[in-house]
């Protein structure tokens, strides 16, 4: 969760430690460097997931909350959450009035977040506080990982952006074993992306990269209600290349190198546009006098909810594409981008 990344960072550190030299920026982004000659290639995936923070405990023992990151009110009610307290994890459920008691006009009304609360089963404020709950405690969705019926689709919360962190690690792992003559890789797990790309803003200064590839969960548009012109990205259709978002237009030459690399390696590639969102690339491509940057994604349905879905083939193809692309980013190629 933004600002509360201690647990996930410790896990990422375990994965990264055998793969390179580890450091951190002062906001907490984790940097894994594979030394070498040639240009500095930054691979970035954010480690935070969207969540909540305890705002107030009512005298009846209900927990009022603020969101950290972009939640849509309609995906919240009835879902389980975990409050991370100094005494340990406390399970709760986001409360709503049962339908039996709703008036007709209430039933058709959208309940907004401010009217919601987390019920931890307490019957008084004291009981909730005895469980360890304090104002400021982080709250995360509870959602177990599951492989779905077709064996290829995976269900879980927070593929945005566990998937980006995993792509960074799998690429570092490949080059740790295979060796890398073309460049030096900085694999970064950034903090606080979901509240305004804060860890990307600081970690890029620690690295001063020559080129950057941002790894993200992208939005799959193959669900009812999304028009093809809004998104025609499909689950299982391959990794996606972001050609436009609200805060970045990719380096066009680097974008074209991605397309060529995918074609040469026979990796399916989809194109996506996100006029209403941004990624860590927003901060990274503006660093210094500018950094050639692209965003690659693994399509995910229902991101920013308890149950997002990705396809294993898209992930595997994204790893292949990323490894091939990084292998081509030698001095000559990187110099030609600007
Ligand atoms: Zn994300």
Considering 5, 49, 193, 216, which one is annotated as catalytic?
Answer: 193
Domain extent, residue 97, equals: 51-141
d(CA 141, CA 184): 36
Residues 291 and 166 grouped into a single domain:
yes
Angle, vertex CA 164, rays to CA 159 and CA 170, nearest 5: 115
Q: Kindly state whether residues 205 and 166 are assigned to the same domain.
A: yes
* Tokens 């193809």 -> residue: 317
Alpha-helix residue ranges (DSSP H) falling in the chain: 6-16, 104-107, 125-130, 159-178, 198-207, 252-264, 281-284, 312-328, 331-335
For residue 148, tell me if it sits in a domain.
no
CATH code: domain of residue 68: 2.40.30.40
Rounded to 5°, the CA angle 189-192-198 comes to 95
Instruction: Using the 3D structure, point to which of 141, 172, 187 is the last residue of a domain.
Output: 141
Give just the sign of the alpha carbon dihedral 232, 158, 266, 257. Answer: positive
Task: Determine the distance separating the centroid of ligand 1 and the alpha carbon of 193, expressed in angstroms.
Answer: 7
Q: Is 1 domain-assigned? A: no
Query: For residue 151, is it within any domain?
Result: no
Q: Mean pLDDT for each consecutive 10-residue tract of the chain (338 residues)?
A: 96 98 98 95 98 97 96 93 98 85 81 92 98 98 97 98 98 96 96 96 98 97 93 96 97 98 98 94 98 98 96 98 98 97
255 CA to middle of ligand 1, Å?
20
* pTM for this entry: 0.96
Q: What's the CA angle centered on 223, arms 218 and 228, to 5 degrees? A: 80
Contact between 184 and 334 under an 8 Å Cβ cutoff? The reply is no
213 C-alpha vs ligand 1 centroid, how far in Å?
14
pLDDT of residue 149: 98
Q: How far is the CA of 324 from the centre of ligand 1 (A)?
A: 23
Residue 63 within any structural domain of the chain: yes
Identify the domain boundary among 141, 175, 196: 141
Q: Tell me the CATH number at 300.
A: 3.40.630.10
* Any domain includes 61: yes
Instruction: Provide the domain count of the chain.
Output: 2
Q: Looking at the structure, do residues 76 and 44 belong to the same domain, yes or no?
A: no
Tokens (6 digits) for 277: 């969102």
Per-residue pLDDT, 311: 98
Same domain, 218 and 250: yes
State the distance from the centre of ligand 1 to the C-alpha of 122, rounded, in angstroms: 34
- Indicate if 173 and 316 belong to the same structural domain: yes
Question: What local confidence, expressed as pLDDT, does residue 328 receive?
Answer: 97
Assess contact for 16 and 154: CB atoms under 8 A.
no
Asked if the structure places residue 254 within a domain, the reply is: yes
Answer yes or no: do 84 and 29 share one domain. no
Which of 141, 169, 190 finishes a domain?
Answer: 141
In a domain, 149, yes or no: no
Q: What are phi and psi of 207, to 5 degrees?
A: -105, -40
Co-location of 91 and 227 in the same domain: no
The CA distances from residue 43 to 46, 140, 166, in Å, are 10, 26, 11
Residues forming a β-bridge with 41: 185, 211
pLDDT at position 216? 98
Residues 220 and 135 in one domain: no
Residue 72 CA to chain centroid, in angstroms?
16
The reported pLDDT for the residue numbered 111 is: 86
Check residue 201 and give its pLDDT. Answer: 97
* Residues 177 and 262 reside in one and the same domain: yes
User: Would you put residue 264 in left (φ > 0), alpha (ψ -120 to 50) or beta?
Assistant: alpha
Q: Is residue 329 part of a domain?
A: yes
* 260 labelled catalytic: no
Q: Can you tell me the distance from the alpha carbon of 216 to that of 210, in angstroms, rounded to the nearest whole number?
A: 20
Same-domain status, 63 and 196: no
Whether the ω angle into residue 161 lies within 30 degrees of 0, i.e. cis, is yes
Q: Based on the domain organization, do 79 and 174 belong to the same domain?
A: no
Q: Identify whether residues 19 and 101 lie together within a single domain.
A: no
């Amino acid at each position: 969760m933004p600002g509360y990344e201690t647990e996930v960072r410790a896990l990422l550190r375990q994965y990264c430690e055998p793969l390179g030299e580890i450091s951190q920026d002062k906001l907490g982004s984790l940097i894994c460097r594979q030394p070498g000659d040639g240009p500095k290639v930054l691979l970035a995936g954010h480690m935070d997931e969207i969540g909540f923070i305890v705002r107030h405990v009512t005298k009846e023992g209900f927990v009022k909350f603020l969101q950290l990151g972009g939640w849509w009110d309609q995906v919240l009610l009835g879902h389980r959450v975990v409050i991370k307290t100094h005494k340990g994890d406390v399970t709760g459920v986001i409360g709503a009035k049962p339908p039996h008691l709703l008036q007709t006009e209430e039933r058709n009304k959208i309940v907004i977040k401010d009217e919601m609360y987390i019920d931890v089963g307490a019957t008084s404020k004291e009981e909730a506080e005895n469980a360890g709950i304090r104002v400021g405690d982080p709250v995360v969705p509870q959602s177990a990982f599951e492989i779905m019926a077709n064996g290829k689709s995976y269900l879980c919360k927070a593929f945005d952006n566990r998937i980006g962190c995993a792509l960074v690690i799998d690429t570092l792992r490949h080059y740790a074993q295979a060796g890398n003559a073309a460049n030096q890789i900085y694999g970064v797990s950034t903090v606080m992306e979901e509240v305004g790309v804060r860890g990307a803003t600081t970690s890029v200064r620690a690295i001063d990269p020559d080129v950057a590839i941002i790894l993200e969960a992208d939005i799959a548009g193959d669900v009812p209600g999304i028009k093809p012109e809004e998104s025609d990205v499909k689950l299982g259709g391959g990794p996606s290349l972001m050609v436009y978002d609200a805060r970045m237009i990719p380096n066009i030459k680097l974008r074209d190198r991605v397309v060529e690399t995918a074609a040469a390696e026979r990796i399916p590639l989809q194109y996506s546009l996100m006029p209403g969102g941004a990624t860590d690339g927003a901060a990274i491509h503006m660093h210094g006098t500018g950094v050639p940057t692209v965003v690659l994604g693994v399509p995910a349905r229902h991101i920013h909810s308890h149950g997002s879905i990705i396809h294993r083939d898209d992930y595997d193809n994204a790893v292949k594409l990323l490894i091939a692309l990084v292998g081509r980013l030698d001095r000559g190629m990187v110099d030609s981008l600007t």
